[in-house]
A and B are shown apart, each in its own frame.
Chain A
Amino acid sequence: MSNNATDMEYAVETFSLTKIFSDWWGRAKVYAVDDLNLQVRYNEVFGLLGPNGSGKTTTLKMLLGLLHPTKGRALVLGGDGTDSKINSRIGFLPEESYLYRYLNARETLDFYGRLFGLPPKVRKMRIEALLDMVGLKAVANRPVGTFSKGMARRIGLAQALINDPDLLILDEPTTGLDPIGTRQIKDLILKLAERGKTVLLCSHLLADVEDVCDRIAILYGGKIQNQGQVRDLLQQTNKRQITTDAITDTAVEKIKRIIQDEHAVCEVTSPMEKLETFFIKTVAAAQQQVQTISGAVSTTKIGAFLAPETATENILDKLVSAPVSKESLPESPTTEKVVPVESPTPEPDEELLTKLTGSAETLQPEPVVRDESSPSDGLDEKVTTQPVESEAPQAEQEQIDKSILEKLTGLSRPQGQDEEQTDKSQAGDAGDG
């Protein structure tokens, strides 16, 4: 929206980026990243997914010049990731918040603000806004060494935002955070994207990625295995979902009959609330009874300086004043508006997980695994016994997912056919550390 470099097509672009970790003698040991061509457009939330050691972090480190690519090249905001001018437009949150443990929260942010050469007034204003936003205002004078992992994560995120970056590079942004914190970060990412920022995040927490990303790439063995729009990848076009208010059984029977006339199968339950939503509600209720806790406070505030030119007064006022419970609900209009894909939510995750753990209880409509599962096939009612999301559509797996699943199930059996790839991933893991 507000990018001054819109003539460039991509915010991040890599050209056959390759990183080989070699041993002491210089012999190639591990292909951590292998011929990677990644394109992140301006003003999109791009998710880099992959299991441990798939080369996500190595890729980010090469983008930022912390590692030198063995081959290939990376462009960040149209330039080199080590260039100071480019750096001043990037916010980076590493895989763990590496902080100076002897500084307190405010000093930490002040230090990073100084690195950006922010004038004292702006620095002070932003520090207070960020502390407020990440809910650490009450503990701003405590050394960050005494912080819990989640609190450290919040400070880490605040330092990534202090320069009001155009490009935000987040490595596992939600690790160590409680569900509320996770929800906040997800909301924040969406809001930032709404304001014209580009976000590149890498994670293996699929639910997080799914909620916020416009496009994703799945990395395995340093190579992109699949990429595209989240909607395209996940939407089940051969299914429909109808959600209604509470209606009578007779009405349900009528609907069932209509559907049967269409020769389709249907299932009726009351939608289950997401555990995340339930959790947030519970904590919000407790918060209203003013139970003080020692750690971070959950807020839904967002620093006004983060692209103030697009932030309308209304939204900000609402954000600052609204109570936690309403804001954090996924049903809240702010979230709904931005999440492009709402229907096919976490159902696929569940299936992946079941497959990975090798559980045969659930029926999998997919041919690959079908032989392992119970012989009763094509019975969609079976799936309804899953206690999780009934608001999600029934599982009738799409073709797109098959290739991913095949690979992932291969991963769950390390002695399987893809030994070389497994090797790579393990070694890549070491390289990441």
Chain B
Amino acid sequence: MGSIWAVAINTIKQALRLKVAAVFLILLLVLLPVMGFSATGDGTLKGRLQTFVSYGLSLTSILLCLLTIIISIYSVTSDIEQRQIYTVITKPIRRFQFLLGKLLGVVLLDVILLSLFSAIIYTITIYTPQFFNATETERNQANNEFFTARAALAIPAVDVSQEVRDRYEQLKRNRELPEDISYKEIIAELTMQQQLAKRAADVGQVLVWEFNNVEPLDQSMFIKFKYDVAVNPPDMQVYGRWFAGDYQYIKYGTESKTPVYDRIHKHSVRDFHEIEIPAAVVPEHGHLAVAFQNAPLNNTVIIFPPDGLEVLYKSDTFTSNFVRAVLLILSRLIFLACLGILASTFLSFPVAILLCLFLFATASFSGFVIESFSYLNVNIGKIYSYTVKWIVQLLPQFDKYNPTKFLVPARLLSWSLLARCAGVMVCIKAFLLLVIALIIFSYREIAKIIV
């Protein structure tokens, strides 16, 4: 353990004294406070906070990822290329201890830098409302929609298979089925149409969403929504009457023991809006309904896009959500450190850097990359799906578990999600890379120069 620690400390000294880390350190120390002033977002306090946290964390994450790749590769390859390893590995240190020491050093450095920068981001975020003398309404909005961690009630899937089948039969009877499209594609198209129909409300029509087993809440609930319209209203705004409460009252008009929310709001179209709903509307039996009526004042059909409605409730604080987001970044860094160490056990510095940067980019856009395979034609697609796709899927999906995706909309990044994500990324994928690295390094000839 002593020798692992010695190598780790030496690695940190190397990173700091050779100014690799110093460059990143200064860059971030300058950029973060500047961004705190310059990031304005949509002009509101909430927008300012969202922009700052989003850019601040993304920048920190990207720079630390690059730093991790560079340092983990440099500290191993330079030891081999400049041959300091001759005097190190001939001391009573096993080769795996040497690599573990390097990894520990890189990870420790990451922990230190990440805590420093996230502390800066956190402090700036917390003090932004005071610093900019925000108004009470702005602060309220920020507290409800930013300084919190909200979970969403699961929206039940709408079953449209019956309608789809009926429609299909109808089309078949009328011989209106297009001939150059397969059955599967027709069904998919019809399903989409039917689901859209379920989310569309004609003037005066009511849409109802039901939620089962809702736990009693101690804080307000929020409906977050976006309107699409068939015909643009003159002022681009529409009226909507919103209900929330016991499903029996809303569906059948029976007596309700709990209060029911019922109000008309005017909102602009094609933007996200939120309305706050008191926690008291949740009935004891937990069967909650949310309903929307296209107010008769409008003269257009209102449609909710697929992600156009969410029912959110506060479930944790901003601080703990922030901590988990930072831990998510850390697990990403640990993965990259292992990747860098692996690459440097058998590649020279420039090649290893290129490979790791390529893999990092792929992991950062993995969703896009994987999706793009489905647009390839069948034959080439098969080749890819057995080779590249397989490799891409082995990489962690940095874009899917992007911490700003949780912090900006104040969505809950739960411990279980973090554990699952970090577990796969660190305990399985990174560990696998490390094992391969240890095996290669244990058997390679140290004094053999890789050109």
Contact = CB atoms under 8 A, between A and B. Distances in A.
Interface stretch (B80-88, B153-161, B312-320): B80-88
Contact of B447 (A67, A112, A116): A67
Interface string A219-238: 00000000000000000000
Nearest to A61: B447
B5 interface: yes
B2 interface: yes
A163 B87 CA distance: 13
Interface stretch (B6-14, B123-131, B242-250): B6-14
B82 A98 contact: yes
Contact of A66 (B3, B6, B89, B92): B89
Of residues B83, B86, B91, B448, which shows the largest number of chain A Cβ atoms within 10 Å of its Cβ? B91
B447 A92 contact: no
B173 interface: no
B177 to A, nearest CB: 62
A358 interface: no
Contacts of A88: 91-92
Contacts of B93: 84, 87, 115
A359 to B, nearest CB: 38
Interface in B1-35: 2-3, 5-7, 10, 13-14, 17-18
Contacts of B2: 114, 117
A84 B90 CA distance: 8
A430 to B, nearest CB: 10
B10 to A, nearest CB: 6
A433 to B, nearest CB: 8
B94 interface: yes
A90 B90 CA distance: 8
Interface string B355-381: 000000000000000000000000000
Contact of A112 (B14, B18, B87): B87
Contacts of A67: 445-448
Nearest to A110: B6
B6 A92 contact: no
Range class of the B interface residue count: 20 to 34
B92 A85 contact: yes
Given A67-B445, A67-B448, A115-B91, A100 B10 contact: yes
Interface in A75-127: 81, 84-85, 87-88, 90, 92-94, 96, 98-100, 102-103, 107, 111-112, 114-117
A199 B113 CA distance: 46
A433 B448 CA distance: 9
Given A115-B3, A117-B3, A98 B91 contact: no
A394 interface: no
Contacts of A102: 13-14, 17-18
A133 interface: no
Interface string B415-451: 0000000000000000000000000000001111100
Interface in A160-207: 160, 163
B447 A159 contact: no
A112 B10 CA distance: 11
Contacts of B89: 65-66
Interface in B212-256: none
Contact of A92 (B7, B82, B86): B86
Interface in B81-122: 82-94
A256 interface: no
Nearest to A62: B447
A111 B3 CA distance: 9
Task: Pick the 3 closest A-B CB pairs, nearest first.
Answer: A114-B6, A102-B17, A66-B447
19 contacts: A64-B90, A65-B89, A66-B89, A67-B447, A68-B445, A84-B92, A84-B93, A87-B93, A88-B92, A90-B90, A92-B87, A98-B87, A102-B14, A103-B13, A112-B87, A115-B3, A117-B92, A159-B87, A163-B91
Given A67-B447, A94-B83, 6 more contacts: A65-B90, A84-B94, A103-B10, A115-B7, A156-B87, A160-B87
Interface of B: 2-3, 5-7, 10, 13-14, 17-18, 82-94, 445-449
Interface of A: 61, 64-68, 81, 84-85, 87-88, 90, 92-94, 96, 98-100, 102-103, 107, 111-112, 114-117, 143, 156, 159-160, 163, 433
